[in-house]
Amino acid sequence: MSELLQQIINGVSMGSIYALIALGYTMVYGILRFINFAHGDVFMIGAFVGFFVAPLMVPLVGGSGLAAAVIIMLVSMAACALLGVTIEKLAYRPLRSRPKLTVLITAIGVSLFLEYGGQLVFGPDPKPFPALIPSTMIVNSSFLVLSSNSLVVIGTALGLMLLLRYIVFHTRMGTAMRAVSFDHRAASLMGINIDSVISFTFALGSALAAAAAILYGSIYPSINPLMGLFPGLKAFVAAVLGGIGNLYVAVIGGLIIGLLETLVTGYISPIYRDAISFAVLILILLFRPSGILGRHEAEKV
Amino acid sequence: MKQHRSKVYLLLALVAAGILSKFETSISPYYFQIIIYIGINVILASSLNLINGFAGQFSLGHAGFMALGAYTSAVITSSLHLTPGSAASYPMFAAALIAGGLVASIFGLLVGIPSLRLKGDYLAITTLGLGEIIRVIIQSLDFLGAARGFTGIAKLADFFWVYAVVAVVIFTIANLVRSTYGKGFLAVRDDEIAAEAVGVDATRYKIVAFITGAFFAGIAGGLYAHFVTYINPSQFGFLRSFEIIVMVVVGGMGNIAGVILAAAVLTILPEALRAVAQYRMVLYAFLLIVIMISRPQGLFGAKLDWGRLWRWIGRRPSPPAEGKA
């Protein structure tokens, strides 16, 4: 029983990280109807920005601590937002009216470019991610081990999700985003600048991925240029699980994947950790292709 | 007529492979290895071309099919204790390769079924997932050596085997897609709804593409296993699939000759650029993005063919064209 509770706490903190990444997938899909394969690698870049910025915090705010952690996260989010916008401008924008397959292959190309570019620049070997906030044990008994780390992760993720909810539903830009995702043409006739809305969406999604990366680094303090591949794919599964294009269900999907993965690792075998999310994906796509909560859209000729 | 001529080509290619294989000891082992890899990559890329280029589906799990063929055939030949060169080794090796191909095509069927309901991005990720699942399962099976790999495979594949298969694969795919039946692949690729409307059974074509493509990928895996004599699951990861996709995209999806050329060039290129090996994958990825933006039909376009290239080389000066072509 106590082990189960432990697994659930770990699963929820992992799941909230997946949820943050999944939100980026789902927002981009909602607006462009296209899966940004490189999203997981933006996440990786976020972790590396954190890695390189962290040592600079010592002269600035005296090493680790809440202030340093907040600054590192903000810098990483800003850097990734910029990266996301650049990727969209250079690689995806020229292809906007092309067949989906073309854009998909390009996205895979961008993803591998970041991974191997990362190996070239950062080196292929794993690097230790610094502990930003010293983790303390809140509960440490034979019954349950609860570190402040998992609470920080869950809390930060929740805060960012609420912030995103505010942006999407209560600001002008958010309204524009929803309008564009509903109908490109009608939105542009109403005077919405489609290009800037798309850029903004990429910035927002990439910033969330960067935040997720910093949180991920506090759970798994080892980063490498290929680290984005599996979290990216799993977050994609999370986005699809609920029905891609919907913010709330992306979060639920993230939590489900995180829990499932932790439980499989704990109770069956760690070998299947990465395979389980794919198995879920295949089952979902076969039986409910529009997601557990999704609506079915008929294809127009 | 054309059908008849291509059979002559096939026969000539097989005879040439037989004759050339007599010289395989006279070139350096390093070059020989590259030549074999070219052949294996041509099979892989051509078979993926059938799925991605002709039938218009998108598979990211080709390395998974290759792994199935490699492991199946390796298990068979190892349990039979075949010795290279013995009389029994030839038919047994052929049977093992075909068995590997069949196992791969059973999984091709499994992958083909989602393609009936899924398109584009979703299909890509599903096939990627299935490829990964195959790899994880192999990794967890102890009798296949798990993560340690499968060792002591007899070195049965030589020049003749590899290039005989290359000839057969190209012959089969070229004839398949040029036949009346094969026009259905292109119809499904170009407009599935319209194809269905005029009575093309899209479901069937997709499944046939996946089964055939997977079969040949499985055979390529078998040849690979019996050439390198040691296989492990990490050789058949996502990156392997990606390399094959780059070959297809660079050569031009649906362009048989272009894909063969691209497979050969992209196998030689990393060897030639060994000094800058760490840039290879960055270069591949960059190449992919640039090609997709500037020439999505591939470097050689969708229509270039050996015949046209041949005519272009031997062309006579033509009178200036009148008006627009």
Rounded to 10 degrees, what is the CA torsion of A98, B238, A84, A211?
150
Residues 6+ apart with CB under 8 A from A268: none
Confidence of residue B120 (pLDDT cuts 50, 70, 90): low
Quote the CA–CA distance of A239 and A251 in Å, as a whole number: 8
- Residue A301 clears pLDDT 50, i.e. is over it: no
**Residue-level pLDDT at B101:** 93
Domain assignment present for residue B22? The answer is: yes
Domain count, chain B: 1
**Residue A246 or residue B165, greater confidence:** B165
Most confident stretch, A134-143, A204-213, B55-64: A204-213
**Residue-level pLDDT at A201:** 94
Quote the CA–CA distance of B147 and A92 in Å, as a whole number: 38
- Residue B2 clears pLDDT 60, i.e. is over it: no
Q: What is the three-class DSSP state of B150?
A: strand
- Residue B195 clears pLDDT 70, i.e. is over it: yes
A9-39 tens-digit pLDDT? 889 999 999 999 999 988 888 888 788 889 9
Cβ of B136 and A274 within 8 Å? yes
User: DSSP string covering B79-140, please?
Assistant: HHT--TTSTTHHHHHHHHHHHHHHHHHHHHHHHHHHHTT--HHHHHHHHHHHHHHHHHHHHH
Q: Could you tell me the two tokens for B207?
A: 């499944």
Nearest-by-CA chain A residue for B298 = A102
Confirm whether the ipTM is greater than 0.85.
no
Cβ of B292 and A105 within 8 Å? yes
Select from B305, B308, B220 the least CA-distant residue to B40.
Answer: B220
Quote the CA–CA distance of B14 and B8 in Å, as a whole number: 10
Predicted TM-score of the model (pTM) = 0.79
B124-179 tens-digit pLDDT? 777 887 888 888 888 888 788 777 888 878 788 778 888 888 888 988 888 888 88
**Residue-level pLDDT at B323:** 42
What is the nearest CA distance from B232 to chain A, expressed in angstroms? 16
**Residue-level pLDDT at B216:** 94
**Domain encompassing residue B17:** 2-237
B92-114 tens-digit pLDDT? 888 889 999 999 999 888 877 76
**Residue B279 or residue A123, greater confidence:** A123
**Residue-level pLDDT at A49:** 94
**Residue-level pLDDT at A229:** 83
Q: B168: part of which helix (H) or strand (E)?
A: helix B159-178
Q: Which of B117, B139, B296 sits opposite A289 (nearest CB)?
A: B117
Give percent of chain B with pLDDT exceeding 70.
86
Domain assignment present for residue B215? The answer is: yes
Q: How many A-B residue pairs are in contact by the CB < 8 A criterion?
A: 113
Please report residues of B whose CB lies closer than 8 A to that of A110: 285, 289
Which residue type sits at A26?
T
Q: Is A139 on the interface with B (CB under 8 A)?
A: no
B75-84 tens-digit pLDDT? 998 888 777 7
The region of weakest confidence among A1-15, A166-180, B114-128, B181-195 is: B114-128
Domain assignment present for residue B256? The answer is: no
**Residue-level pLDDT at A44:** 95
Please report residues of B whose CB lies closer than 8 A to that of A279: 129, 133
- Residue B322 clears pLDDT 50, i.e. is over it: no
The region of weakest confidence among B15-19, B32-36, B39-43 is: B15-19
Q: What is the three-class DSSP state of A127?
A: strand
The overall average pLDDT reported for chain A is 84
Quote the CA–CA distance of B95 and B98 in Å, as a whole number: 5
**Residue-level pLDDT at A208:** 95
Averaged pLDDT, A253-273: 85
- Residue A299 clears pLDDT 70, i.e. is over it: no
Averaged pLDDT, A249-254: 88
- Residue A128 clears pLDDT 60, i.e. is over it: yes
- Residue A86 clears pLDDT 90, i.e. is over it: yes
Domain assignment present for residue B12? The answer is: yes
Give percent of chain A with pLDDT exceeding 70.
88
Cβ of A278 and B129 within 8 Å? yes
What is the nearest CA distance from B297 to chain A, expressed in angstroms? 9
**Residue-level pLDDT at A20:** 93
**Residue-level pLDDT at B303:** 56
Cβ of B58 and A101 within 8 Å? yes
Averaged pLDDT, B5-22: 74
The overall average pLDDT reported for chain B is 80
Domain assignment present for residue B243? The answer is: no
**Residue-level pLDDT at B233:** 87
Q: Could you tell me the two tokens for B21?
A: 């294989």
